[in-house]
Structure 1
Amino acid sequence: MNLRFTIWSFTALLLLFTSCSDRVKDNLGDATNFLKVTVDDKVEIYNNVSARWIAGGNSLEIRGTRDGSSWMTISILAKDNSVSVGRYTLDDSSPYDMLATYSRLENNQQFNFTATRGTIALSDDFTLEIEDMNEHTVEGSFSGTLIAVQGLNVIDSVVLKDGSFTTSINAE
């Protein structure tokens, strides 16, 4: 009887540890709260990620920081509709506005990059795919080109690739 229990316990633990998702295999820590993105060919993993409902619960903001050296925020803003599972882009004809920001510190100087709907610059681009969401968690992927401007001139840009996140959603 004791041998059967030991074998059964070992099998259950083996199944538990071998069925972990790729996120855990990627050393992302807590698989239920992460943001990972390749910024100009450099992988960044954000260790402090959260989301929150804003503007009466219709709009959603996802934000993360990487040890205080870089920050990322993605906001989907809605007036009448609620954000839901789906694909959002800067130039679609949906009733949603989007704002994506990326900031980093280099040599004690902060650099800020954005992508938003309706800018004069045509070089910013951003796509967000919300793949799974309920009132407590959100999961998705993203990519795009964020720009830094001075007046009407684009002075710099960053390319975001293979972005993915999973995080809990807090109340407003």
Structure 2
Amino acid sequence: MPPFPEQEKRMDPVRELKSGALTALLVAVAGVVLGLLWLWLAPRIPLVSDGKAVYLKDTEGEQAVGADGTFVLLALAIGVLTGAVVFWRHRRGGVGIVLGMAAGAVLGSVLAWRLGVWLGPTGDLIAHARAVGVKTVFDGPLALQAKGALLAWPIGAVLTHLLLTTAFGPRDEEHSVPRWDAPPPPPLPGA
């Protein structure tokens, strides 16, 4: 059975590739927003120096875990938003769009992580401790300890897109789906 005309456009591999690449690029650029939000909202790790070494000001603090958790929650929220926007813009879907969205989300997560680290407090603790002085509290560098957090955005985006496609996506034509509940054909005469 030949495909429907609207499916022919969707099945064009060149068009799928272009749409997927454009989607990946646009989603990855949104990583700048995630990086800036993470930098702004992540808890800071307070450090102090005694002139010889750098120590945590609060040894029982959970700021490092909080920075990872903040990244995960922000990435999931942006993933849900990304999945919804991509579904809204491309209701007909296609494998290229979804793969582009997932690849762009991974690239965007890496971009956000590196941007937050780059714009955050310096990673050279010794120079920073010397600059602020002895017994002065200063912020430690922003770091992502759990690298699995980079997958929160693509997972959130793909799951959201899948749920929206399931609930509101285009349906197959009725005649293309076999009916299993139809009554059996009448018996042949003379049988």
TM norm structure 2: 0.22
Q: Which has the higher contact order (CA 8 A, sep 6+)?
A: 2
TM norm structure 1: 0.24
More helix by share: 2
More strand by share: 1
